[in-house]
Amino acid sequence: MLYNGEIILAAHRGDRKCCPENTLPAFASAINFGADMIETDIHMTRDGQLIILHDRNTMRTTGYDGWSNEMTYEEIRKLDAGAWFSEEFAGTRIPSVEEFIAQIKDTDLRVNWELKDYPREVGDDFAFAAADRLISMIDKHGLRERSILNSFSDRVLEHIVRHHGHDIPIHGQGIHNCCRSIDTASIPREELYDWCCLYPEEKGKSPLDYRENFDYCLSHGILPCVCIADKYESYQKALEMGCKMFTTNDMRECNRILKQLSVR
């Protein structure tokens, strides 16, 4: 079951504090630590292979200036996704979704799949095909009950609901006074979202400065989550306002704080 009332600790791109983000070592570390969930990012290559990569441009994590949707899977696999982090991880490759699924399928780990191919960047057909392919793989491996589908594109999320049903929870990016979607859907966000990551409305502020956004989510049956600095006071306040999931860049510190707060 994806959610049974507990507070979820989600490792953001795996254990990115100790390993290069969105790589098999980062996921293995999160699994071994005992994270409840991994949040990860999905792109599709030119030849239709799903890979795990945050930025559509590969420069930041590989040193090669390319676009994932314009490259083949074979070209992607030649890139080094670990050397930028440390020499220890030199030669680490950008993983395929199939490799990630093989890594987690025999665990009880849950996955927040963020679809990063956006219609305004790669076109409707490509973005929707990436979503369709991911859901096909989720179904092939029996992962529906362990999955959330997430995107900054409401149009991608709407496509999923209209073509694949709404039994996989849908995760939106901002709501009420601070929507972060890069496009719009015909389904109202209040009906589309099951989960929502909350953001600050003003630069320099925290999502915790806006209780009304938490209240808005909860009054519409949406489960609020945050990605904030791992500090005791912040977590305490987020829990008081109804936060149900912490997506963290430091899963050990997140776990320590949640234990102090007696929710793990």
Give the residue numbers annotated as catalytic, written as ranges: 12, 54
Half-sphere exposure of 184 (CA within 13 A, CB side): 2
192-210 burial, b if ≥16 CB within 10 A, otherwise e?
bbbbbbbbbeeeeebbbeb
Q: Which residues contact 117 (CB under 8 A, 6 or more apart)?
A: 42, 43, 44, 56, 69, 126, 127, 130, 156
Asked if residue 160 lies in contact with residue 135, where contact means CB atoms within 8 angstroms, the answer is: yes
**Cα gap 176→192, rounded to integer Å:** 13
